[in-house]
Amino acid sequence: MKTEEATPMVPVSKSNANSSTNQCNHRRFNFEPTPLLDIAPIVSTENLLSETCYKSYNGWVFKNSSFRLVQVSIAIVVAVLILLSLDRSIGITNSILPCRPDGSPGDGDKNQTPTGMDEEASDNEISFEDNKRRESGPETSKGENMNTTCSCRQVHPKLSNTILDHLKQIHPSTNRSTSDYLKMQHPNFPVDAVMDMATRNIKCHLLPEYASISWVNTFWQRAATTKDVTLYLYSAVYDNRSMTADVQPCVRVLVISRSTKPPRPWCHLWFNATKPPQAVKALRVEYLDYHKPSSETSMPFLVTCPLPQEYAHLKPIAASLLPKPCTYTSNLLQVTGSGSLEESAFVDGRFPHSSRKHAEYTVAVCGPALYYYHQDFSFRLVEWLELLRAMGISRVFLYETDVHPNMEKVLRYYESQGFVEVTKYSYPPPYDNEPSTRRLWTNTHRVQMFAQENIYFSDCLLRHMHQHRFIAHFDPDEVPFLLHHDNFTHLINELLNKSHMELGKKAKSLPAGYKLQWNIFYDDLQPPQSTRDLPPYLHALRHTLRPKADFPQSPGTFKAIYDMNTVTGVFSHGPIVCGSGKCHSDVKRVDAKIAYLGHFTRTCGDTCRKEGYLKEDSTLLRYEEAVRVTVEKVLGELGLL
């Protein structure tokens, strides 16, 4: 984006015009747009030659040699700012750049030097400082400012060339650049911000360098919001959905805290490495669990950071949380996400051209964080993935901690095909991530473990909400049964059409999703005669016996297909937070005669031996031929048979 040159607006006396030290009125400022985002122009330092130079965002440049006039001007600006603080309906975008008599930039606000900034960084300062301030946006009940722009002193980051060379190197096993590989292996590493500062060899002093980030348990970052409250940050996602009208767009940050009510932090939203961050007060901190808050547990929360209106069309590259704005911090998360639904959300990648025809949506699945380290679940995993694919699921998103070597082979195989996307995950402090101790913890501290699940379940939905409008959550021991539909797209189309017909009649809005109730297929039941000859690695296809009566309904016996136009935070069995607030019961139940979820687990014992207690459901056998051939092929190629 080109920026027009600006000419002086204030006439200068003849005596001053001939002075070699007063040349602002004779020169035009050179505006150099930033390579990535042309948010604010950089003023060329060679043109800063006058005693006092003033620059504002709309490009006008003026100068005056009278010190008294400067005092009057400053007084006017202060008065205007005071008036604007009383009337939020009027905005101001005024930026001041002080200059020394020799033409070099002034010192600006020295109080903005970050704590913990080393001497070497201070010595690397560049002769430029953006010393602007802006206060605008909504107010809390206490009247605090929700949006401010920070001062930014530009410094040279350490070892920029070394960092840049490393990020560009090709990773041998994937044939990807190290920067792309980092996005796969370290999903929240701020690779775009690091790449930007290394490429420019310049950064704002408030932006943490990668080595200064306070990493914990590999994928988490530590952030203090008050003296007594610490947050552990996992991920940040850009959210521009229309249902978030009160904060559209915003950045959602998933965090863990032992505080039952953590205070709203400040958010630094970074659009590039050289400019000051946009500092905004978090609008909400929402609790993501159905258990009562307890300081004995690390609890999941969702922090919502609204974007200032003037930056609403831009996606930040990184985000930080901190107790006070415009101060240095040691956390920096990559911001993922997109501004709109991608082609993958629609069948055949096309949105319908006719306004009378509803779009046909694909359906994806978010699975759990796999920790099958002591169990080889590879056969079951391959069958599960192939059954989902046969039912029309377009993609499966899984999280990985430590898994059995055979599971590792399966995950890498389906990743290479593009059907599965794996995100690396670790549990936050104080929990141990050594596989054996983690297994012990997950089996003995179930409430704490379930609370942590809400982080990666919510992260999965938010991270991929721009790729699919409908995303289900199923575990690998859960297989959907579609009793009257060929695939999930047909099921969702019917459910969505019914919901549209009910708008204004029975319903005020579309549901947050659709829930499938469990029916149990017990592991200790022998396959019936009809499926006994199937190979043992087809567990779900062989086990077709279940109780005649549907499984008793309760909040924990359903799994949901979420409408990502609405849902924001979830637990394992349903939504917790939507764009409009709490939404525990906003999911519509699907009749078990239309579809349900087979849960292949548990033991039945003597109960199932009662005459007439069981029935056979052969719904999955419609996929038997295709799934059997494919599973055998995959297991053979991986050397698992």
Q: What single string gives the DSSP state of each residue in 463-513?
A: HHTTT-SEEEE--TTEEEEESS-SSHHHHHHHHHHHHHHHBTTTBSS--SE
Please state whether beta strands 545-547 and 284-287 pair in parallel, antiparallel, or not at all (unpaired). Answer: unpaired
Task: Tell me the backbone φ, ψ of residue 481, rounded to 5 degrees.
Answer: -115, 110
The alpha carbon dihedral of 438, 439, 445, 448 has a sign of positive
CA quadruple 528, 530, 532, 536: dihedral, nearest 10: -100
Can you tell me the mean pLDDT for 501-511?
85
Predicted structure pTM score:
0.77
Q: Please say whether the beta carbons of 28 and 3 come within 8 A.
A: no
Could you give the CA distance from residue 355 to residue 477 in angstroms, rounded to a whole number? 40
Q: Please report the pLDDT score of residue 281 as a whole number.
A: 95
The alpha carbon dihedral of 8, 10, 11, 16 has a sign of negative
Can you tell me the mean pLDDT for 569-576?
93
The residue with greater pLDDT, 372 or 221, is 221
The residue with greater pLDDT, 237 or 641, is 237
pLDDT at 282 over 90: yes
Q: Please report the pLDDT score of residue 216 as a whole number.
A: 94
The CA-atom distances, in angstroms, between 102 and each of 49, 66, 517 are 7, 16, 75
The alpha carbon dihedral of 611, 612, 613, 618 has a sign of positive
Q: Among 4-8, 24-28, 176-180, 438-442, which stretch is predicted with the lowest mean pLDDT?
A: 24-28
| Helix/strand/coil for 209 | coil
Report the percent of the chain where pLDDT is more than 70. 76
Q: Please say whether the beta carbons of 220 and 254 come within 8 A.
A: no
Q: Which of 409, 410, 464, 402 is nearest to 438 (CA)?
A: 402
Q: Which of 339, 542, 550, 295 is nearest to 430 (CA)?
A: 295
Could you give the CA distance from residue 282 to residue 564 in angstroms, rounded to a whole number? 22
Going through 102-213 in order, the beta strands assigned E by DSSP cover 125-130, 147-149, 152-155, 170-171, 176-177, 203-204
Q: Which of 155, 192, 152, 165 is nearest to 333 (CA)?
A: 192
Q: Among 92-96, 321-325, 375-379, 429-433, which stretch is predicted with the lowest mean pLDDT?
A: 92-96
DSSP symbol at 278: E
DSSP symbol at 54: E
Q: How confident is the model at residue 438 (pLDDT cuts 50, 70, 90)?
A: confident
The alpha carbon dihedral of 322, 326, 327, 331 has a sign of positive
pLDDT at 68 over 90: no
Q: Which stretches within 87-210 are classed as H helix?
A: 119-123, 160-168, 178-185, 191-200
Q: Please report the pLDDT score of residue 354 as a whole number.
A: 55
pLDDT at 583 over 70: yes
pLDDT at 20 over 90: no
* Structure tokens that stand for 367 in this block: 């699975």
pLDDT at 604 over 50: yes
Looking at residue 431, its amino acid is: Y
Could you give the CA distance from residue 28 to residue 17 in angstroms, rounded to a whole number? 14
Q: Please report the pLDDT score of residue 49 as a whole number.
A: 30
Geometric angle at alpha carbon 542, from 539 and 546, rounded to 5°: 100
Chain mean pLDDT for the chain: 79
Q: Please report the pLDDT score of residue 17 as a whole number.
A: 38
Quick one: which H or E segment has residue 185?
Answer: helix 178-185
Could you give the CA distance from residue 502 to residue 482 in angstroms, rounded to a whole number? 23
Q: How confident is the model at residue 619 (pLDDT cuts 50, 70, 90)?
A: very high
pLDDT at 50 over 60: no
Q: Please say whether the beta carbons of 563 and 575 come within 8 A.
A: no
Helix count (H) and strand count (E) of the chain?
A: 13, 34
Q: Which of 360, 378, 289, 597 is nearest to 473 (CA)?
A: 597
pLDDT at 260 over 60: yes
Geometric angle at alpha carbon 564, from 562 and 569, rounded to 5°: 75
Q: Which of 363, 558, 595 is nearest to 464 (CA)?
A: 363
Please write the tens of the pLDDT for every residue from 524-563.
999 999 999 999 999 999 999 999 999 998 888 999 999 9
Q: Among 16-20, 451-455, 551-555, which stretch is predicted with the lowest mean pLDDT?
A: 16-20
Could you give the CA distance from residue 96 to residue 63 in angstroms, rounded to a whole number? 12
Q: Which of 155, 258, 287 is nearest to 208 (CA)?
A: 155
Q: Please say whether the beta carbons of 266 and 325 come within 8 A.
A: yes
Q: Please say whether the beta carbons of 137 and 162 come within 8 A.
A: no
Could you give the CA distance from residue 46 to residue 59 in angstroms, rounded to a whole number? 17
DSSP symbol at 168: H
Q: How confident is the model at residue 471 (pLDDT cuts 50, 70, 90)?
A: very high
Q: Among 73-77, 146-150, 348-352, 384-388, which stretch is predicted with the lowest mean pLDDT?
A: 73-77
Quick one: which H or E segment has residue 366?
Answer: strand 363-370
CB 444: neighbour CB atoms within 10 A? 9
Length of the chain: 641
Q: Which of 203, 49, 198, 48 is nearest to 125 (CA)?
A: 203
Q: Please report the pLDDT score of residue 33 as a whole number.
A: 33
Biggest alpha carbon–alpha carbon distance for the chain: 110
Looking at residue 478, its amino acid is: E
Going through 227-355 in order, the beta strands assigned E by DSSP cover 230-239, 250-257, 266-270, 278-281, 284-287, 299-306, 318-322, 333-336
Q: Which of 76, 21, 79, 75 is nearest to 53 (CA)?
A: 21
Could you give the CA distance from residue 411 to residue 38 in angstroms, rounded to a whole number? 40
Q: Please report the pLDDT score of residue 353 as a whole number.
A: 62
DSSP symbol at 574: E
Could you give the CA distance from residue 152 to residue 113 in angstroms, rounded to a whole number? 9
Please write the tens of the pLDDT for every residue from 403-418.
999 999 999 999 999 9
- Between helix 405-417 and helix 378-390 the angle, nearest 10°, is 20
| Helix/strand/coil for 14 | helix
Please write the tens of the pLDDT for every residue from 315-341.
999 999 999 999 999 999 999 998 888
pLDDT at 187 over 50: yes
Contacts of 355 (CB under 8 A, 6+ apart): none
Report the percent of the chain where pLDDT is more than 90. 54
